[in-house]
Structures are given as C-alpha cells and as structure tokens.
Structure 1
Amino acid sequence: MRYLQILAGLAGLASMASPVQAATAVNPTTAAKAAIDAMNSAFYNPSEGRWSPDIAWWISGTALQAVLDYMQKTGTRDYLAQARDIIEKQKGPVPGWPQGGGNFRADSTDDTAWWALAMLRMFDLTGDKQYLDIARQDEEYIWKYWTETECGGGIYVDIRALTYKNAIANALYIKLAAGLHLRTGDSIYLDKAVKTYKWLKESGMINSQGLLNDGLTRDKTNEVCYNNEGPTWTYLQGALVGGLSELFRTTSDPSYILDASTIVNAVINSPQLTPPSTGVLTDYACEGTTKGCNFDQQSFKGIFARNLGEFDSLITGRPYRAYLEQNANSAYEKARDGGNLYGTSWAGPFDGASLAKQQSAASLWVALL
C-alpha cells in the first residue's frame, strides 16, 4: 500500500544532516545475501538451532527476522528449512525461564515480542497457521503485564521484577498487536494496539526533540511517572516507527504516517544519532566511547533500518531510501572485512565481528530490497 504523494513532501528530507548518495555501491540483494551467508558461516550453530548461543537469546530472534524478511522480499526460500529448524528448536522452554512455558514466552516482554514478530513473518511466508497461533499466544502473554496502577498504563518489560515500563516493550507490542489485527481482522488486537500507542504518546517518553528516551521513572513520593532521560537508542525509534507503520497498514489513518515521519526526521536531524561529519546512523551512547557497545547495543541500528525500510515502502517515491543507501554505502566501504562481516560503526573502521553486528548489517541491506 502506498500513500498520497503529498506525504513524501512531509518527510522533510531537505533538512537532512548531510548530503546523500544517489545509489548503493553494490546490488542490495547481492549484499544482503552475502551478509546472511557470512552470518550463517561465522555464527550459526545447527545443533542448537541458534546463532551464537553464548549471547542474548533475543538477538537470534531478530537475526531470524532479517533472514525471513530477505526471503519475503526476494521470493527465495533458500533459508526456509533453516528457519523451520530454528523455530522448532527454540520454541521449547526458554533457558533459565521454565515458567515461560515455551512458544517464546520469555522472562521479559520485549524478548517475547522479538520472536512473536518473527512468527508473523513466518506465517506470511508459509501460510502455516501454527506460526500465527504462536504469535497470538505470545501477544496474550505480553498483554498480561499491562497495568494501569503504575504510570496510568503501559506494559512492564521485566516480568520477574514488574518495576519498569519502557519504550521498547510497548513499541514492540504495538507492532505485534497491529500486525495480528492486519492478519486476523480481530478488532481486539487493534483496540489494544491503539490503546498502547495513545498511552505511550502521552506518557512523557517522547522528548522535546521528538525522540523516545529509554523509559519512565516513578517518583515514589507522589507516584508520578516521568521521562528518565535515558539514551535515545536507535532501536527505540525504529520499533515505534514499525508499530506506526503496521497501524497505518491496518487502518489507513494518515496520522500514523505523520507521527512516524516526525520520529524518522528527528533521527536524521539529530547531531547525535546522525552526526553531520558522517551522515551515518550512530548509537552515540556507546559507539566511540571507552566502554563500547555490548551485544545488545550492537544490534540496535539494524532494527531501526528494518523498520525505516518498512515505513518508507508505504510512501510514494520512498523518500527515505537515500538515507538507507547512504548508511549501506558507508557500511560496505568502511565497516566490512574481506569476508563480508561487518563492524559496529557503519562509519567504520571495522572493529571485529559478532552476530549482533552482522544481523544489524544484514537488516540494513534487507531494508533496501
């Protein structure tokens, strides 16, 4: 579905932080496949049905999403057998969280949501209702952790502690619930997605620059919740843009397009998230710091790119494609080694490989397909 041409003008690309290149350095399909193949060769453990089993489980979920999105966009089914094997081996009880009961119900709502979103894409690819049923079960599980007794609403991220309402858990839930409505027509999912977005928008998590901070802090004296001014991680922005895209796809309400474009433009025009010196997406809170980025943080930019690509495809003329191309060119030329493995910073230099870095780069290339 594409929206009215006028919305391309509303994208505001004239105010981008730096000039953009006109096209990618290589064919995006070729580069995406090379990145996925390198990810499989370097990090996939077939006996466990998971990439890099020693790092966070959710990162394999978002890596699977990149592979599934590649197949959806190209029409190939090259990795479908692998995807089926991953799902079968990972849908049992989550390591360290037997209470989850399997089918990707984890000890945090965001970890559950990453896998549930992959199940929606697996359903799109195969038409097999078992994957849709898993996503529905996961949505029901996540929604149990919505409460209105703290901060007036919202979903807790940490199921064990039930103490933190943050951007990622709620943004991912919006995308999941809206996606379920789109695929099932069940209005209960749309009602909950709209309710969650209304709460998030009014919660204070979106700052004066139009960007999401990490979450909310509750004042224990007066019970008021307020923006904790945590980092404006790239994946927070991307997850909400993805949720708004799915809401638009299922409602055709242009307000969701406008809200998403506000967030994207804020990212592009932020001197921290898109430094004028490079014009390349950056997680400023860890990239270039003495501490560096951990595996979770190394994953973030690809999630933004994935959701920006989905959003951009809704707008006539794909006005954000040039920004994605600029990032892809830079990553390919400055952050890649001779084996098609990618580093943390897409502005370079290459700083070694990890699954987190690789799935992020793969997601960037897939966003251009």
Structure 2
Amino acid sequence: MFPPPLSKVLLAILAIPSCVIQAIQLDVKDPASLRAAASTISKTLLTYYKNDAPNTPPEKIGLLPFPPYYWWESGAMWAGIIDYTTYTKDTSHVNKTIQALLAQRGPKNDYIVPAHRGDEGNDDQTMWGLGLMSAVENNFPGPPEDQPQWFPMVIALFKDQASRWDMESCGGGLKWQMYPGKYQNAYGYNYKNSISNGAFFQLAARLALYTGEQYYIDWAEKVWDWSWRTGLISPTYDVFDGTDDKKNCTSLDHTQWSYNVAVYIEGTAAMWNTTQKSIWGERTVGLLGASEVFFSPFPNATGIMFEAACEPANKCNNDQVSFKAYLGRWLAKTMILAPFTAKTIRPLLETSAMAAAKSCSGGSDGVACGTKWWVGGYDGKTGVGQQLSALEVIQSLLIEDADRWQLPRDN
C-alpha cells in the first residue's frame, strides 16, 4: 500500500479529467488570432441551438431550448452572430441565421409572436429588432426575394413599439411588459424600465443615422428626455433599472446592470454622429464614465469587465450572465460612431477579451467559457450567456477593420 501522502497524490491525479485544459489562445493585437478565437467560441455557442432540424416545429425554429433560455436571448444570440459574420467574414452561420430571423418574425412581420404572449416584453421584442438593424447596417445577406426583407421588418417593429408609448402615467415611457397581468407578470406591466426604453431609444437613434429622417431623431430625443426626466438616467449618468408607474415614476429601483448603460451609450453615439451636436457627445462621455462601475472588480483585476450587481456574490441568474455580451457589443459600436471614445473603450475591451479567453478552458473540449473572467481561468459555470459574452468582447476588437460595417450616409 502506498504511504498516505503518495496515495493522496495518486487519487488527485486520477480525479483530473482526461481532457487537457486547452483554453483559447489570444493575441488582442492580431486579427488572425481574434478571428480564430471568435470562430471557436461561435461554434461552441451554436452547439446549444438544436432547432434547425428538418422535423422542428415551425414555432421552435430559431429558438434556444426553454427552459432555461427565454425567447429574447435567442434574438440576442443571432444579433451576435450577425456581427460575427461581419467582423470575421466567416459566412458559415449565415443560412441558419436567416432561417431563425424569418421564423420568429410573427404574422405581421414585427416580431410580435402570439406563441410568446406570456413572455414577450417590449425589451424582448427590441432585442430581435436591434439584431435586425445590425443586419441592415452590416449589409448582411437578405432573405429570398419572396420573403419579408430586413429593413421593412425593422420599421414595422419600430412602429409597433412607438404605438405603445404610454402617456397615461409618468408623462410617457414604455412599460416593461406589453400585456396586463392576466397574460404576463402584473408587476412588469406597471414597471417602466431602462432596457425597454433604452433599446427603443437606441433603435430610434440608429434609424435616424441610417435614414437621416427627422422622425427618428425626434423619437430618440423624446425617449432620452423622458429617461432623464424620470431619473432612470441620473445627473451623473448612472442608469438605474426601472420605476413603478403606479407611483407615477417617483421611486426608482437603483440597481445598475451593464446592459442598461450600454444600450443608451450606443444610442447617444449614433445621435452624436447624426446631429454633430455637442450635447450628444457630452452624454456619450457621461455614460462611458458611468460604465466604469462594470470594470475592475478587484485591484488585481483592473480593466476586466464584470456584472457588478451579481457576479461577486455568485447571484447572477441565467439572463444576467449574458449582460456583458451587450456591454461589449454596444461599447465597440460606440467606438466607431463616436471615435473620440476609442482611446478609453479599446483598452477595456482588450483587457476583458484576454480575461475572457482565459476563462474559455472548460467543458469536454477545453474551450467552454466561464462567467467570472477575473478569476484567471474557468470558474465551472458555462452556457449560452457565457459563450455569447466571450464572443462579443473578443470579436468587438475586429470592428475597426470590418470593411462591411460602415456608416450608411456621409456625415
């Protein structure tokens, strides 16, 4: 029999999984390295998607498995794949992306889907809409000619959102949920939150930039002014989660989530680019400063992105582990729309991308990505949100060289 110390060592060795810890190698200054890492992560991400088989029920095509993934996160994932295609020039996911976007468009081509009446809120609808807008901006391959096209569907979705602008309380604003409590969460129907209003604002701002039409400029200004007036955006540009319209929006949930500040910042950057007004530049800089709360969780993790409200306490739910994806996505686009932000944003994305790559050392293949990038490796928790977050922050570093991501008009 081995003596106790050697016995313990042998048991420890036998307990190590047979796969080698691989991790994703990344040089953030090398486009080829960035493309290779993004390719690996995108493939792992899409292993979660099973609903493109020939016998898939039509209403399931384009959707991740539920539970645990709600309808909106599928839209968020396809938006990430649209950007992946643009930044890397890898077209391997194009056909399934087109199929997914068409399958979930709804009978009026506005992404109101009767099958999801119980779980589709204003923010959920716009998550699909923002991805559609990326398809328009990126010149992403379109559907067959006999099918609805990307831009008309964006317009239909926007008009549907605008029709729900609620003047019955708080002087305006979109509710979180679309329908009363009989169909959805009653609290959500009385909650006017930042992600619903911020996503509508961003879509208006991007449409203003793309079309040059005053109609969309006016809507973007209206949503911003309402968000500022109610205090969802504070005088120091912190973006709080939401407010109760039963109390006429006089009290706030002061929780800060990364995707809330991020959804507004791309919108302000688009408005600066469209109008060239200094106030939109000031707002962009203000929001960028407020986003610092989502970087540097500890002194030895400077510049690394994290979800401040839940990661340190191990309390992030399945939705929240994906929020860093949208922070990375929208900060990257802010760099392009408002180039004066690049000197601040690019280093944060580079540091976060390196940390994210180190986290991608889990699973049977050694490349599944973790939640906490600041721990220096894989933390044992992976899924769609983790894969999408790592993908977004890594592929975002290719945006400046993406020859198909361009401003649609001379400004």
TM-score range, shorter-chain basis?
0.7 to 0.9
For 1:362, the equivalent position in structure 2 comes to 391
Greater Rg, structure 1 or structure 2? 2
Provide the C-alpha distance between the structure 1 equivalents of 2:160 and 2:107, rounded to a whole number of angstroms: 14
For 1:10, the equivalent position in structure 2 comes to none
Contact 1:92 1:104 in 2 (8 A): no
1:122-175 Cα offsets, whole Å, 9 max, x none, are 223236671111111111111122123311221111111331111111110011
Equivalent residue in structure 1 for 2:307, among 264, 276, 283? 283
Secondary structure of 1:294's aligned partner: coil
Matched, 1:24 2:53: no
Matched, 1:81 2:64: no
Shift of 1:36: 0.5
1:258-290 Cα offsets, whole Å, 9 max, x none, are 21222222222x3x6532421222212221325
Report the residue type matching 1:133 in the other structure.
P
Q: Percent identity?
A: 24
Change (3 A) 1:262 1:331: same
Give the TM-score taking structure 2 as reference length: 0.75
Provide the C-alpha distance between the structure 2 equivalents of 1:263 and 1:362, rounded to a whole number of angstroms: 23
Shift of 1:331: 1.4
Secondary structure of 1:295's aligned partner: coil
Matched, 1:164 2:168: no
TM alignment of 1:1-369, pairs within 5 A: 24=28, 27-47=33-53, 48-54=61-67, 55-92=69-106, 100=113, 107-123=120-136, 124-126=139-141, 130-161=149-180, 162-207=189-234, 209-218=236-245, 220=247, 223=248, 225-229=250-254, 231-268=255-292, 270=293, 273-277=295-299, 278-279=301-302, 280-290=304-314, 292-313=315-336, 314-316=338-340, 318-319=342-343, 320-337=345-362, 338-348=365-375, 349-369=378-398
Change (3 A) 1:316 1:29: farther
Provide the C-alpha distance between the structure 2 equivalents of 1:249 and 1:29, rounded to a whole number of angstroms: 28
Shift of 1:199: 1.3
Give the TM-score taking structure 1 as reference length: 0.83
Contact 1:248 1:254 in 2 (8 A): yes
Change (3 A) 1:322 1:256: same
Contact 2:322 2:386 in 1 (8 A): yes
Change (3 A) 1:274 1:227: farther
Shift of 1:195: 0.8
Provide the C-alpha distance between the structure 1 equivalents of 2:366 and 2:64, rounded to a whole number of angstroms: 18
Gap runs ≥5 in structure 2: 1-26, 54-60, 181-188, 399-411
Name the stretch that deviates more: 114-123 or 125-134: 125-134
Residues paired across the two proteins, number: 339
Secondary structure of 1:343's aligned partner: coil
Change (3 A) 1:29 1:177: same
Gap runs ≥5 in structure 1: 1-22
Secondary structure of 2:332's aligned partner: helix
Shift of 1:218: 4.5
Shift of 1:334: 3.6
Shift of 1:116: 0.8
Shift of 1:359: 1.1
